[in-house]
Amino acid sequence: MTRVLDIQGLTKGFTMHHLGNRLAAFDNISFSLEAGEFLLLKGTNGAGKSTLLRTIYRSYLPQSGKVLFQSDQGEIDLARAADIDITHLRRTEIGFVTQFLTARPRVSAEALVAEPLRMAGQSAEDALQEARRWLAAFGVKPDLWRAYPTTFSGGEQQKVNLARALILPQKLLLLDEPTASLDATARAALVARLAELKASGTAMIGVFHHPDDVAHLIDRVIDLTPDAPKPEEREDVAV
């Protein structure tokens, strides 16, 4: 199998200067991930699941440790890569899916979804076609495709967000509770898309409040609850 990610001794805490203290999020985490592998992060609230995802994506800066990512241009340590390299990877190889859409004024739903394809070099017309296909798959009504998502309900925004985040296959996909508050149609479309991406080799790390939807995709579980058994000992555990 092809290694995608190798995390070694990753430690993250938040120094809160005004309180004069440091809040530990997680300590000395190590695991690796192969292409096409789906890893579920579990743990109690506050165990650091989302924090770990954001640290890999570099929305958070880790204190120590390595996040070795096998990019198309060779290995790079995401924990200390230059900002411009991170921006580049976020555009090309690493995706992050949350439940929240960052809508932009005067950008239509279909244009927002098509954007990653256009940035990857597809023609505007092809990208739009593909975008509409995905909006339909996630159950967004055609009347809304040309409207501005800033005015959409939370649920509809989330569907646009998912379509946008998943339209372009990426090497590594980080999923932060993408199913929360989705209706059944959208949930089914999401799970089908994740299965397709997994089969095409996308490595995924996900946090799911109710992992039942994706149970059949999960290869491995890591429990971040403090004092939980080591991940190595839990490889065979079902959800």
Partner 1 sequence: MTLQLDAPRLVKTRPLVTVRNVSKCYGDVVALNDVSASVYPGEVLGIVGESGSGKSTLLRMMNLEETPDRGSYTLDLPDVQGNLFDLDRFARRMLCATKIGIVYQNPHLGLLMKHSSSGNVAERLLVAGERSFATLRQKAKVALEASEFPLERLDAPPIELSGGMQQRVQLAKAIALEPALLLLDEPTTGLDVSVQAMVLDTLKHLQQERAITMVIVSHDLGVIRTMADRVMVMRRGEVVEQGLADQTFQDPQHAYTQQLVHAKL
- Report if residue 234 touches partner 1, rule: CB under 8 A: no
**185-211 per-residue burial string, b: 16 or more CB within 10 A, e: under 16:** ebbebbbebbeebbeeebbbbbbbeeb
Residue among 170 and 190 whose Cβ is closer to partner 1: 170
Site string for partner 1, 175-214 (x = CB under 8 A): ----------------------------------------
Least distance (Å) from partner 1 to the CB of residue 83?
A: 5
Q: How far apart are CA 40 and CA 163, in angstroms?
A: 21
Question: From the list 6, 31, 34, 76, which residue makes contact with partner 1 (rule: CB under 8 A)?
Answer: 76
Element spanning 155, H or E: helix 154-166
Question: From the list 16, 120, 124, 237, which residue makes contact with partner 1 (rule: CB under 8 A)?
Answer: 16
Element spanning 94, H or E: strand 94-97
Beta-strand relationship, 172-176 and 203-207:
parallel
- Report if residue 95 touches partner 1, rule: CB under 8 A: no
Least distance (Å) from partner 1 to the CB of residue 183?
A: 29
Element spanning 26, H or E: strand 21-34
- Report if residue 104 touches partner 1, rule: CB under 8 A: yes
The residue range among 30-38, 104-112, 158-166, 193-201 that interacts with partner 1, by the rule CB under 8 A, is 104-112
- Report if residue 71 touches partner 1, rule: CB under 8 A: yes
- Report if residue 146 touches partner 1, rule: CB under 8 A: no
Residue among 104 and 209 whose Cβ is closer to partner 1: 104
Question: From the list 2, 28, 59, 200, which residue makes contact with partner 1 (rule: CB under 8 A)?
Answer: 59
Beta-strand relationship, 203-207 and 38-42:
parallel
Sheet with strand 203-207: strands edge to edge:
94-97, 172-176, 203-207, 38-42, 220-223
Residue among 81 and 218 whose Cβ is closer to partner 1: 81
Q: How far apart are CA 131 and CA 140, in angstroms?
A: 11
Q: Which class for 105: exposed (0-12), middle (13-18), buried (19 or more C-beta within 10 A)? A: exposed
- Report if residue 15 touches partner 1, rule: CB under 8 A: yes
Q: How far apart are CA 4 and CA 27, in angstroms?
A: 22
Least distance (Å) from partner 1 to the CB of residue 198?
A: 25
Enumerate binding residues for partner 1 (CB under 8 A).
Answer: 14-18, 54, 58-64, 71, 73-74, 76-77, 79-89, 104-106
